[in-house]
Chains A and B, each alone.
Chain A
Amino acid sequence: MTPLLRHWILMLMLFATATGALAHNPSQSFSHWTINNGDVQLTFSVKTREVTRLQPVDSESLNARLMRHLDESIDVSSGNIICPQIDKSVPLASAQGYMRLELNFQCSTPGHLTIQIDSFFNLAESHIHYANIRKGNKLSQQYLFTHENRSHTILSDVEKSAGNIVRNYIALGTEHIFGGLDHIAFLLALVLVCGRKRDLLWAITGFTLGHSLTLAFASLGWVAPDMSLVEAAIGFTIALVAVEKVAATTDQGKRLTMATAVALIIMLMVNQRWNIGLSGVSLIGFILLGISYLWPTKGESQSQPFRLFITTVFGLIHGFGFAGALGDFGLSGDQLLWSLLGFNLGIELGQLAIVLLLWVVSTWLSGWLSSDNRRGLSDWSTAALCGLGLYWFIGRSYGVI
Chain B
Amino acid sequence: MKTQGRANSQTMLLNRRSILRLLLGASLGVILGLTGTPFSQMDDPSIVAMVNHQPITQVSFDKALTLFSADKRNMLTAADRQLVLNRLIDEELLLQQALNQGLLRENLDVRQRVLKTLLSAIAGQSAIGVGMNGGSSKALGNFIQQQRQMATIVQLNPEQRNSIHPEVSK
Binding site for B on A (CB under 8 A): 21-23, 52-56, 59-63, 67, 87-93, 95, 224, 239, 242-243, 246, 249-252, 256, 375-376, 378-380, 382-401
Contacts and interface: CB of A to CB of B under 8 A. Distances in A.
Contact of A246 (B19, B36, B45, B150): B19
B147 to A, nearest CB: 5
Interface stretch (B22-30, B72-80, B83-91, B162-170): B22-30
B39 A22 contact: yes
A-B pairs, 10 with minimum CB distance: A383-B25, A394-B33, A390-B29, A387-B29, A93-B146, A387-B25, A395-B33, A250-B15, A90-B129, A391-B29
B34 A55 contact: no
Nearest to B23: A383
Select the residue from B34, B53, B129, B150 with max chain A CB neighbours within 10 A: B129
B32 interface: yes
B97 to A, nearest CB: 14
- Majority SS of interface residues in chain A? helix
B71 interface: no
A22 B25 contact: no
Contacts of A224: 152
Interface string B115-143: 00000000001000111000000000011
A236 B24 CA distance: 17
A53 B131 CA distance: 26
A379 B33 contact: no
Given A53-B46, A93-B146, A392 B33 contact: yes
A384 B19 CA distance: 13
Given A250-B19, A251-B15, A386-B29, A52 B44 contact: yes
A162 to B, nearest CB: 29
A100 to B, nearest CB: 9
B18 A56 contact: no
Given A22-B40, A52-B47, A400-B34, A387 B15 contact: no
B17 interface: yes
Most A-side CB within 10 Å, residue of B22, B26, B58, B66: B22
B69 interface: no
B57 interface: yes
Nearest to A52: B46
